Amino acid sequence: MIDDEIASHELELRSFGRRRGRKLSGRQERLLADTLPRVRPDLSRPPPADARGLFGVPVTQVWLEIGFGGAEHLVWQARHHPHVGLIGCEPFEEGVVKALTHIEDDHLGNIRVHPDDVRPLLRWLPASSLDRAFVLFPDPWPKARHRKRRLVGTPLLDQLARAMKLGAELRLATDIGDYARTMLAALMRHPAFRWTATRAVDWRHRPEDWPGTRYEAKALREGRRCAYLRFVRVCAPT
């Protein structure tokens, strides 16, 4: 049984593109060498009994952002919610160093960074440990032959359902209409999540506590409509 589970994990398709872009500066290299090990959850060790213990400051809740890009949203939430611990996942190196720069410059002790695929982290975290999760503008994989690589689907939702508390909120956003439809279809089928929208404005406009990002601004400049989906973790029917 364990061997089958390991094999299934190894067969998971990569849901992100490149890991590295331009050459890093000396300071950025130092951040990766010195700061990242201090703020990176160590998945080689047993998980904490309480995910709040991952942080170097007292926190009352734990939120997870999957694919934080340039870290604008992650850092905004950390600054505005100092008593919330945020775990940011991002495999792209330039995004990671942007988050690390803010952590060091702004002394943000309530951020932890996992510079890799989120799925091993979700399997490692204790059950019912997350109070909120974000999947904002994931890689759209627009070509039909690549759509199987899209991250948001039933397997990820199963992992999130295990890691999220009852009543926890899941926020998703995309500027790709086809991806919005497949996200919504997967979530509407999943028994552990309930859509909170009651009218069109609920998914067409960002709430005030949901800051914009450079990626979103680019999508709007190029005339793409963004969808903002909010779901609540509910008790699955038996």
Whether residue 129 contacts residue 87, with contact meaning beta carbons closer than 8 Å, is answered with no
Task: Enumerate residues 6+ apart whose C-beta is below 8 A from 177.
Answer: 225, 227
120 burial (CB, 10 Å; 0-12 / 13-18 / 19+) is: middle
Strand partners, 170: 133, 231
Count the neighbouring beta carbons within 10 Å of the beta carbon of residue 76.
16
Tokens read off for 118: 């989120």
The conformation of residue 225, written as its DSSP 8-state character, comes to P
Q: Catalytic residue numbers?
A: 139
Distance CA 154, CA 162 (A): 12
User: Sign of the C-alpha dihedral, residues 24, 26, 28, 30?
Assistant: positive
